[in-house]
Each structure stands twice: as C-alpha cells, then as structure tokens.
Amino acid sequence: MMDLTKTPRRIALGLEGSANKLGIGVILHSGPSLSSSSATVLSNIRHTFVSPPGTGFLPKDTAAHHRSFFVRIAKQALAAADVSISEMDCICYTKGPGMGAPLTSVAVAARTLALLWDKPLVGVNHCVGHIEMGRAITGASHPVVLYVSGGNTQVIAYAEQRYRIFGEALDIAVGNCLDRFARTLKIPNDPAPGYNIEQLAKQGGRVLLDLPYTVKGMDCSFSGILTRADELAAMMEKGTGKGPDGEPFTPADLCFSLQETIFAMLVEITERAMAHVGSNQVLIVGGVGCNERLQEMMGAMAKDRGGSVYATDERFCIDNGIMIAHAGLLAYETGFRTPIEESTCTQRFRTDEVLVKWRK
Amino acid sequence: MWCGWELPLSPEKPPLPCVLLAREQPTGSTASSGTNQISQQARKGKKSKFQKSSGYKFIFWLFDVPSIQELHPAYTTATMATATEPQFPPPKVLTYPASAPPILITQGAEGRLYKTTYQTADRPCALKYRPPKPYRHPILDARLTKARISSEAKVLEKCLREGVPVPAVYGMDPAAGWMAIEWIEGVPVRVGINKWLGERPDEDEEQKPVTAEDDAPLVDLMRRIGSAVGALHKTGVVHGDLTTSNMMLRPWKDTQQNGHAVEGDKAKILEGDVIIIDFGLATQSMSDEDRAVDLYVLERAFASTHPRAERLFEELLGAYGKTFKKGPTVLHKLEDVRMRGRKKSMLG
C-alpha cells in the first residue's frame, strides 16, 4: 500500500445523517506526516429536518428528508469545495451511533457513491468525529471532552489509543431532555429547540425552581428532571404554579431553572473527570455545546482549576459532514478501510470501541 | 442533634467546639469520657474491632477521588500528572487562632481535606470542606452542599452507632460546607498491599505462582476487608465508591496484637484494622442490587489496582458472605451484575 502520509494532499468527502441533520463536507489534509498535517475545511453544507412545534422528528420522516435532499446537498458541497472527483481519496460516512432509518439512508448513499466513483469507504464513529473536529478547530491537545447532544451525554478522556468514557447519562441524553421539554412548552423547533430554550432562559432568572439533581459519581440521569419540569409546566398551564417567592412562574423561569440544574450536573461530572486525569483543559462538543450558558459555566469551573475551556460554534458543534470527513481521513491515513461488504451502520456504537491509531 | 463549632464572639477567644459522638480518649485506657447516648448505645452492642482499637495519630487520607481510574486501568499514575493547583484561602472555620496551623492535605473535585486539631492540640482531626462552586447558581449550590454534608454525616453516624469502623464525626456546619471527623492513623490499604506485593521477587508469568501459604497475611487482610464491607452493608449503608484507596489500615498497638502472631517485619505491613473512609457518594440502601454493585465496583477497582493479587479477591467475598444473613444472596446477585457490566450499551 502506498504511504499516504507522504503524499502532500489528501481529500475526503464526509457524509453525516445520524439524526435530523443531513451534513456533507469536504476536507483537505496537507503536509507530509500525520503529526504535522494541517486540516482545511473546503466545504461544509448542512440541511436540517425541522418538525412542527410540539413534535419531535420521527425516524421514518427524517430518513425521507435525507433521501430527498442528499443529491442536492452533495452537489452543493462538491461545488463549494471546488475539487474534482478524481482528487478525492475516500468517502467517509457515519457508521453509528444514531437513529436507524436516517443512518441507513446515508449509508446507502455512501455505498452508491463509492461504487460509482470507485473510491474506498471509511465508516466513522459519530462521537469520535465530534471529538476530532473539536480538537482540530480549537487546538486543544489533551482535553477532557464533554460530548453533549440530543442523543449522547458523555465525559471522555483519551488514554492508550481509546477515547475512554468516564461518565455518561444513565437514561436519556441531555439534549433529549431539552428537546422534549421544548415540546412540552410548544417552543418552535426552528432553528433548534435547545437554542430557543436558551433564548427564553435569558429572560428568566428571577427565581430558581426546585428540580431534582441526579449525579451518581461521574454518571447522571435526566429523565426524573424532565418529569418534574413537565409537572411544573402543567401546573403553570393551570395557573396553580407558584415560585419560591409566591408569584406565578413563567416559561422563562422554567427554562432558566432547567438549564441551571442540568448544566450544573454536566459541569460537576466534567470536573470530576478532570481531577482524575489531571487535565485542566476541557473541550465541549455536540449540539448542546453551542449553549453559551453551558460554555460560561464550564469556563468558570475551568478557571477555578487554573485551566481553560475550548468550544466551537454551531458550524462544528451541531452534527456536520466535515467532522465525519476529518475523522474518517485520519483513520484512512493509518490504513483503515471499510470494505463494501462491511459498510453497514449501527444504532449502538460506543466511543471506546474505536481504536484511535492516529494518536500517540 | 448535630452541632457545629461555637464560633467566638471576640477574635482573641479561641473557638470552642462542641462535643458530638464522644469517643474514648486516645490513651488506650478503658476509662470512658463518652457520656452521650450514642456512644453508650454503641458500647452496649456487639464489641467490634473499632471499639477495641485506639490511637489517633497519623497523616494520610484520600478524599473524594472516585474509582473511575480503576475502571480505566490505562490511567496509570504517570498519566495522572497533577494539574497546577492554585492556592486556596482556607474556610472561615480554620481562620481562628489555633496552636497548630491547618494543613491542606488534598484537593479533590468536590472539596478539600484539611488536617487540623480538635479540642486539644494533640488530637488531630480531618476537616472536609466543600467550597462554593462559582459556576453553580448560588441557591442550587447552597442546597447541594448542605444536603451532601448532612447526608455524609448521617451515614457516618449510622455506621458508628452500629459499630462499623468508620471515622467519628466531631462536628459540622452544613450551611458553611464543612465537617470535622476523626483522623485515622495508618496508610491506605492500597499502599499496604502494593508494598507487600512489591517486596516479593518479580513474579514473571513463567515463574511458579505464589502459594496461598506465602500470602497468609494478605489472605487475612482480604478477609478483614470483606468483613468490614459486610458490616457496612449490614447496617444499610452502600458506600458508592469502594476502592483500596478509600480504606485505611490502622495499625494495631504493639501491646494488643488482637491474637495475631508476629511474623517478622514484612507481615506487619498488612496488619491493622480496616477503616472505610470517604462516604461522599454513600447512600442508605438495603437492596441486594445496590450492595452487589458496590462489591462489583470494588472488584473492578481491585483488579486494576492490584492485578497480581486479583485471585485473592475470592477470599474477600468469602468473608463478606459470612458477615451477615443476606451475604450469600448478595454474592449471588453479584454474578448477575458481573454478567451485565456496569455500563449500558450506547443508545443512539
């Protein structure tokens, strides 16, 4: 096999569709070796399936969305990147974890392109994609990673060729808790339910409503909090809800209290992991990582420990194709390939199952 | 029933701590100074090692370090380089004039551990302090700190009452975030076992395995750990973070060998009472499932901390099973927990 690290330019196409975002991106790695290569984003196009207020995105509808938009978005991404197909080294797609139907639709598209253009396929773990993109963008060298999204809540640190999970949500993911609460309050899902909760929470702050706080060691749980928040919302609807100050509370107060509680839990488990591995860098990735209040709280914790927080904006935090292209290309450079017969996808794919050969 | 330190009204007057859960004086004499109900109740109960032992000197403790390191053996001490630790101002309770200045022993994720003295200058005590977290909403922060200090003290008090060997609670102020507890003499069990294993000639795979007779003192220690954990579970307390770092090996006094024969200096490494510490994650539970998970965490931690002594874990479980009536049921449940593993398979 040709030593790819010697070639000056390597280009990969990344296809992501594990949830309601269809993302396609093209990345360029230039430079002679793995350690000194630099990554350039050539294009990063995304299209989101938005369901009406009060509803979530169903697998069937989301898969239909991805199928109908795939060709359009792929053409846009290739045009924006301005590279020819012959220059492309490999096609990277999300192998998992995620929702079955959307994953399948994108995996089928990835196979089709691979056969059509005669390019090798690389199946990528979605979580590893987030981590690698976060590291590449922020330059954090050895951070503790908090990965928070609609489907995942994990505190991760790297050791011995694996991203090890130190703590995680025991039931629903933090983003799922926020999304479902947005449904309860009938907050629009456009651009994202979490974003709208964040904006509403900025108007709150008068009172802090009492919600359960469930941290178990480095793990945490969100379903009980959601149940209580839903109960409080129902009381508010009926007009029987009273805050600690005796005044009725508003949706803004609820959003504020929910954010303060669940983000405090996330920061607490992250702090524990940091104390363990002796790192004072923390990197936040995943859709919930866009939340400025979470970034602010994490920053306060990191400052207290003499460290700093690294976060990216919505282009890289929210699911995107470029992160799949980047992580896939890193694996490709170490010789990793996914033969077409094995180019399946899976809903369950733990972050620590991936052998991270590209890091020391 | 819990009381804190009586803080002085004028700065020149030293703080006067109130006695809580009075214990026998550390002189080894049988004269009792404890007059409150709790210690009397404890004395009426079964005589435990805890009540027999005495002595309070010492200097090592691990505070609030959960066992994840053990769950991920890849984290060796080398990769666990300490982050540059900033200097902290001590909590208010430690700022009053005292003959011995408080010493910051360790800084965990949750709080800090200080060594100071209690009542008299020659009686050391450990002060656990949970500082306010700047990132947390002040109301939420106050609520959590208060609840955590109180719950830890309640668990310790329950153990003491039942005669389980744990540090005694001297005083606390949940609102201010601190709790003063007995200072335990000795070294962590982890250190003792590693020292014991370290003194053995290098044990390569090809060499003959060490026989049970060679390890008699270690086997004995494993049984003592099993009994200590069993006693804890019997009272309805689940530790939540059992590791060999969270157990102290408090040396026996030379005058009272507790019936154990002296086998030269090496055997002395593993001598002592097993005192379980750091109840920061403890909960009160009588369920077999919770107890089995507690044992599973210890098993995993033990296997990764002391891989060379892993085969002796059976001894610990054997002793555990004999400690209380439901012991065998818990051990049966442990097999289920092992099959399941602690972590779930990841959902989408």
Q: Give the domain extent around B128.
A: 17-24+42-182
A88 near A13, Cβ under 8 Å? yes
Say yes or no: B163 and B241 in one domain.
no
Q: Which residues of A24-54 are buried (b: 16+ CB within 10 A; e: fewer)?
A: bbbbbbeeeebeebebebbbbbbbbbebeee
Of A272, A296, A297, the CB nearest to B66: A272
For A268-298, the pLDDT digits (tens) are 999 988 887 888 899 999 999 999 999 999 9
A23 is in an annotated binding site: no
A126 is in an annotated binding site: yes
Give the pLDDT score at A51: 93
**ipTM of the predicted structure?**
0.89
Nearest CA in chain B to A208: B139
Q: What is the Cα–Cα distance from A14 to A322, expressed in whole angstroms?
A: 6
* Contact: B140, A260; criterion CB under 8 Å: yes
Find which of A99, A141, A154, A166 to mutate to test the B interface (most B CBs within 10 Å of its CB).
A166
Under 8 Å CB-to-CB from A246, ≥6 apart: which residues?
none
| Options B173, B215, B241, B290, the catalytic residue | B241
Say yes or no: B70 and B173 in one domain.
yes
Nearest to B181 by CA among B264, B116, B227, B100: B116
What CATH number did the domain enclosing A331 receive? 3.30.420.40
Q: Does A151 touch chain B (CB under 8 A)?
A: yes
List chain B residues with CB under 8 Å of A206.
none
Q: Please report whether residue A358 resides in a domain.
A: no
B275 near B183, Cβ under 8 Å? no
Q: Please report whether residue B124 resides in a domain.
A: yes
Q: Does A152 touch chain B (CB under 8 A)?
A: yes
A147 is in an annotated binding site: yes
A149 near A193, Cβ under 8 Å? no
Beta bridge partners of A219: A216
CA quadruple A330, A331, A332, A335: dihedral positive or negative?
A: positive
Length of chain A: 360
* Contact: B134, A275; criterion CB under 8 Å: no
Q: Does A338 touch chain B (CB under 8 A)?
A: no
A194 is in an annotated binding site: yes
Mean pLDDT, range B217-239, rounded to an integer: 94
List chain A residues with CB under 8 Å of B75.
159, 276-277
Beta bridge partners of B80: none
For B283-342, the pLDDT digits (tens) are 999 999 999 989 988 988 888 788 888 889 999 999 999 999 999 999 999 988 887 654
pLDDT in tens, chain A (360 residues): 455 555 678 999 999 999 999 999 999 998 866 666 789 999 999 999 999 999 999 999 999 999 999 999 999 999 999 999 999 999 999 999 999 999 999 999 999 999 999 999 999 999 999 999 999 999 998 899 999 999 999 999 998 888 988 888 988 999 999 999 999 999 999 999 999 999 999 999 899 999 999 988 788 899 999 999 999 999 999 999 888 988 999 999 999 999 999 999 999 999 988 887 888 899 999 999 999 999 999 999 999 888 999 999 999 999 999 999 999 999 999 999 999 999 999 998 989 899 999 998
Cβ atoms within 10 Å, residue B197:
17
> How many domains does the structure of chain B reveal?
2
Nearest CA in chain A to B66: A217
Kind and range of the H or E element at B283? Answer: strand B283-284
Q: Please report whether residue A359 resides in a domain.
A: no
Say yes or no: B320 and B287 in one domain.
yes
Q: Does A213 touch chain B (CB under 8 A)?
A: yes
For B158-198, the pLDDT digits (tens) are 999 998 989 999 999 999 999 999 999 899 998 899 888 87
Strands A215-216 and A90-96: unpaired
Tokens (6 digits) for B82: 């300490």
* Contact: A164, B72; criterion CB under 8 Å: yes
Give the pLDDT score at B102: 85
Give the pLDDT score at A1: 46
* Contact: B74, A162; criterion CB under 8 Å: yes
Give the pLDDT score at A37: 74
Domain boundary among B182, B204, B232: B182
Q: Please report whether residue A128 resides in a domain.
A: yes
pLDDT surpasses 90 at B56: no
Q: What is the Cα–Cα distance from B31 to B308, expressed in whole angstroms?
A: 44
Q: Please report whether residue B206 resides in a domain.
A: yes
B23 CA to chain A: closest CA distance, Å?
32
Say yes or no: A324 and A307 in one domain.
no
Between the alpha carbon of residue A4 and those of residues A12, A14, A37, A42, A335, the distances in Å are 13, 18, 12, 20, 8
B142 CA to chain A: closest CA distance, Å?
12
Cβ atoms within 10 Å, residue A355:
11
Question: B44 pLDDT band (50/70/90 cuts)?
Answer: very low
Nearest CA in chain B to A176: B348
Domain boundary among B182, B217, B252: B182
Q: Could you tell me how far CA B140 lies from the centroid of its own chain?
A: 28
Q: Please report whether residue B347 resides in a domain.
A: no
Q: Please report whether residue A102 resides in a domain.
A: yes
Q: Please report whether residue A255 resides in a domain.
A: yes
Which DSSP category does A48 fall into? E
Cβ atoms within 10 Å, residue B275:
23
Cβ atoms within 10 Å, residue B261:
6
* Contact: A159, B136; criterion CB under 8 Å: no
For B232-262, the pLDDT digits (tens) are 999 999 998 898 888 999 988 764 555 554 5
Q: What is the Cα–Cα distance from B150 to B242, expressed in whole angstroms?
A: 20
What CATH number did the domain enclosing B46 receive? 3.30.200.20
* Contact: B84, A217; criterion CB under 8 Å: no
Beta bridge partners of A311: A284
List chain B residues with CB under 8 Å of A162.
74
pLDDT surpasses 60 at B77: no
Q: Please report whether residue B208 resides in a domain.
A: yes
Of A165, A218, A264, the CB nearest to B140: A264
Rg (CA), chain A: 21
Say yes or no: B314 and B193 in one domain.
yes
Q: What is the Cα–Cα distance from A91 to A110, expressed in whole angstroms?
A: 7
Say yes or no: B175 and B192 in one domain.
no
Say yes or no: B123 and B226 in one domain.
no
pLDDT surpasses 60 at B43: no
Cβ atoms within 10 Å, residue A143:
28
A96 is in an annotated binding site: no
List chain A residues with CB under 8 Å of B74.
159-160, 162, 164
Find which of A141, A272, A298 to mutate to test the B interface (most B CBs within 10 Å of its CB).
A272
Between residues A49 and B8, the one the model is more confident about? A49
Q: What is the Cα–Cα distance from B53 to B23, expressed in whole angstroms?
A: 11
Mean pLDDT, range B46-57, rounded to an integer: 37
Q: Please report whether residue B65 resides in a domain.
A: yes
Q: What is the Cα–Cα distance from A357 to B179, expressed in whole angstroms?
A: 47
Say yes or no: A155 and A247 in one domain.
yes
Say yes or no: A274 and A149 in one domain.
yes
- No. of helices (H) and no. of strands (E), chain B: 10, 12
Say yes or no: A220 and A175 in one domain.
yes
Say yes or no: A233 and A154 in one domain.
yes
Say yes or no: A65 and A198 in one domain.
no
* Contact: A305, B83; criterion CB under 8 Å: yes
Tokens (6 digits) for A72: 């359009």
Q: What is the Cα–Cα distance from A275 to A259, expressed in whole angstroms?
A: 24
Q: What is the Cα–Cα distance from B13 to A155, expressed in whole angstroms?
A: 48
Say yes or no: A173 and A203 in one domain.
yes
* Contact: B137, A208; criterion CB under 8 Å: yes
Give the pLDDT score at B75: 38
List chain A residues with CB under 8 Å of B86.
304-306
* Contact: B345, A351; criterion CB under 8 Å: no
Q: How many CB pairs under 8 A join A and B?
A: 118
Question: B230 pLDDT band (50/70/90 cuts)?
Answer: very high
Cβ atoms within 10 Å, residue A243:
19
B241: annotated active-site residue: yes
Interface of B to A at Cβ within 8 Å reads 65-69, 72, 74-75, 79-86, 108-110, 133-137, 139-141, 143-144, 240-241, 281, 343-348
Q: Please report whether residue A360 resides in a domain.
A: no
Nearest to B233 by CA among B324, B338, B336: B324
Say yes or no: A185 and A81 in one domain.
no
Say yes or no: B162 and B218 in one domain.
no
Say yes or no: B118 and B198 in one domain.
no
Q: Please report whether residue B229 resides in a domain.
A: yes
Give the pLDDT score at A50: 95
For B100-128, the pLDDT digits (tens) are 788 888 887 788 999 998 888 888 999 99
List chain B residues with CB under 8 Å of A348.
345-348
Of B140, B240, B348, the CB nearest to A99: B348
Of B80, B240, B346, the CB nearest to A350: B346
Find the angle CA(A316)-CA(A317)-CA(A323) to the nearest 5 degrees.
Answer: 45
Say yes or no: B191 and B335 in one domain.
yes
Say yes or no: B212 and B158 in one domain.
no
Region label for A32, one of left (φ > 0), alpha (ψ between -120 and 50) or beta (otherwise)? alpha
Question: B264 pLDDT band (50/70/90 cuts)?
Answer: low
Question: B96 pLDDT band (50/70/90 cuts)?
Answer: confident
Q: Give the domain extent around A260.
A: 140-316
Say yes or no: A144 and A76 in one domain.
no
* Contact: B68, A278; criterion CB under 8 Å: no
For B23-42, the pLDDT digits (tens) are 333 443 443 343 344 444 44
Say yes or no: B304 and B257 in one domain.
yes
What CATH number did the domain enclosing B195 receive? 1.10.510.10
List chain B residues with CB under 8 Å of A298.
135
pLDDT surpasses 50 at B137: yes
Say yes or no: A202 and A221 in one domain.
yes
Domain boundary among B130, B162, B182: B182
Of B83, B84, B346, the CB nearest to A97: B346
Which DSSP category does B85 fall into? P
Nearest CA in chain A to B79: A277
Nearest CA in chain A to B108: A275
Find which of B79, B146, B346 to mutate to test the A interface (most A CBs within 10 Å of its CB).
B346
pLDDT surpasses 60 at B16: no
A276 is in an annotated binding site: no
Say yes or no: B48 and B141 in one domain.
yes
Q: What is the Cα–Cα distance from B131 to B3, expressed in whole angstroms?
A: 20
| pTM, full prediction | 0.79
> How many domains does the structure of chain A reveal?
2
Which DSSP category does B91 fall into? P
Beta bridge partners of A163: A158
Find the angle CA(A278)-CA(A284)-CA(A289) to the nearest 5 degrees.
Answer: 155
A14 near A43, Cβ under 8 Å? no
A198 is in an annotated binding site: yes
Q: At what angle do helices B37-44 and B138-161 cross, to 10 degrees?
A: 40
